[in-house]
A and B are shown apart, each in its own frame.
Chain A
């Protein structure tokens, strides 16, 4: 229990002023502009958009600046802003197959139509600090191939003529929406994916990792990872057709996992799916691992690891909820704590009295 406490307004105002000063840092350094964050800290911007569940790079950059780079605080700020906006439309399902590819790889198939496109990646870097970045100097422009990319069709179903991989088909169901109806466990896969898509990356990464280490093992292969831009279409009533209103950057991960099958169905590779705003490859991979782990019951697997327990995984995935509840411990609990002190003192008095009554050598009853 916490009670309203009055006072401290002046201290709070001054604390916020001090915060603004510390955020600004030493005045001999140029002030960071939101546009610089948007352009030069893009992966942080993408993470904030993903976990805030709102795609708006400029506002995500502003949130990062306002939060002094505290990503979880920035997610909170953007999520809070989201509540001030009306919903104007629901998009047509995004066609990731039509993505303008910036990166596309498969760790399962080597020779693929369109080829393995590394794109802008931290993979294969040596993870040595680059002291050149401490010095001034322009990055060279990117290399340019003579020929443009070939078509990069989605691989999983294309390359699987034998039907060894589970197929994903549209059942036509209207998906649930946790922003309108709070999740009621157990939840279906559409709800799980919506919750995972806004889940904290570090948390999902740890859970995905746990499945690899044996807590709900499912032997994943990165079937296809693609990054790039996808056009967003909404259906316009006035025109009676769906039209493009812009494009967004997305990261998609198609994980292929070990077999499922039953008496009726022949064994097949199963799948996990990850999709995230921007350049968020690690998030998409972690999401795909956890999505697959959460399909345990559906696929008739024994639930052995934490990553397979839907309510545990999903109810703790949202950093806004988690940090809110942890942070509330900082609110005044003076009365609550006072009553605990009283209780503890009484228990100790009773304990002392018992000790006196029984004498120093007597054993308390309940220790037998």
Chain B
């Protein structure tokens, strides 16, 4: 059970980091990793929409806010190669089909135990670090607009 849970968690973590990474960056890092995995798309890449739900007051019952474009892909690694036949899935906001395919490809390759470690250490970890750095930069910029209140003392 624990191993399944761990697997799911790392899968979700990869999917998140890769979806939040610009495609060009992902493409470069993936190429640098040097994993050659011939594959074919078994579903998509296809672009559609996700209906987004909000909550009344932020915490209450759900309502439909509106839709966003979403692209998904599923790939299978070619038989007779390392990890042959493994399936992978990828989802990404927007209409970038190559981005979805790359996420699916990474997911498929990560089913191959020897590759999973490299993917997590040499691809996901640095991309996650870069993502956190971008978020931190935005946070520092917003923090510069924080109001410092001071009270004017009136009277004698």
Instruction: Output the nearest chain A residue to B71 by Cβ-Cβ distance.
Output: A88
Q: Which of A97, A118, A171, A273 contacts B147 (CB 8 A)?
A: A118
Using a CB–CB cutoff of 8 Å, the interface residues on chain A facing chain B are 49-50, 53-56, 58-59, 82, 85-94, 96-97, 100-103, 110-111, 115-120, 142-149, 154, 156-157, 167-179, 189-191, 193-194, 197-198, 231-232, 234, 236, 238-248, 252, 254, 271, 273, 275, 277
Chain A residues positioned under 8 Å from B143 (CB to CB)? 117, 145, 147-149
CB of B26 to closest CB in A, whole Å = 13
CB of A151 to closest CB in B, whole Å = 11
Instruction: Output the nearest chain B residue to A120 by Cβ-Cβ distance.
Output: B145
Could you tell me if A88 and B48 are in contact, using CB atoms closer than 8 angstroms? yes
Chain A residues positioned under 8 Å from B49 (CB to CB)? 54, 82, 85-88
Instruction: Output the nearest chain A residue to B100 by Cβ-Cβ distance.
Output: A245
Cα–Cα, bound, A145→B46 (Å) = 42
Could you tell me if B139 and A94 are in contact, using CB atoms closer than 8 angstroms? no
Cα–Cα, bound, A116→B12 (Å) = 33
Q: Mark B114-148, 1 if CB is under 8 A from A, else 0.
A: 00000000000000000000011111111111110
Cα–Cα, bound, A55→B66 (Å) = 8
Could you tell me if B52 and A94 are in contact, using CB atoms closer than 8 angstroms? yes
Chain B residues positioned under 8 Å from A97 (CB to CB)? 58-59
Q: How many A-B residue pairs have CB under 8 A?
A: 242
Cα–Cα, bound, A56→B47 (Å) = 12
CB of A153 to closest CB in B, whole Å = 11
Could you tell me if B50 and A234 are in contact, using CB atoms closer than 8 angstroms? yes
Q: Does B113 contact A (CB under 8 A)?
A: no
CB of B119 to closest CB in A, whole Å = 16
Q: Which of A93, A102, A277 contacts B62 (CB 8 A)?
A: A93
New A-B contacts (11) at CB < 8 Å, excluding given A91-B53, A97-B59? A86-B48, A91-B50, A116-B149, A148-B140, A157-B59, A170-B60, A194-B66, A245-B70, A246-B19, A246-B92, A271-B57
Q: Does B16 contact A (CB under 8 A)?
A: yes
Cα–Cα, bound, A246→B66 (Å) = 15
Could you tell me if B50 and A88 are in contact, using CB atoms closer than 8 angstroms? yes
Q: Which of B11, B46, B50, B149 has the most CB of A within 10 A?
A: B50
Chain B residues positioned under 8 Å from A244 (CB to CB)? 12, 15-16, 19-20
Instruction: Output the nearest chain A residue to B143 by Cβ-Cβ distance.
Output: A145
Chain B residues positioned under 8 Å from A238 (CB to CB)? 89
Instruction: Output the nearest chain B residue to A291 by Cβ-Cβ distance.
Output: B56
Q: Mark B87-125, 1 if CB is under 8 A from A, else 0.
A: 001011111000000000000000000000000000000
Cα–Cα, bound, A82→B91 (Å) = 19
Instruction: Output the nearest chain B residue to A118 by Cβ-Cβ distance.
Output: B145
CB of A56 to closest CB in B, whole Å = 4
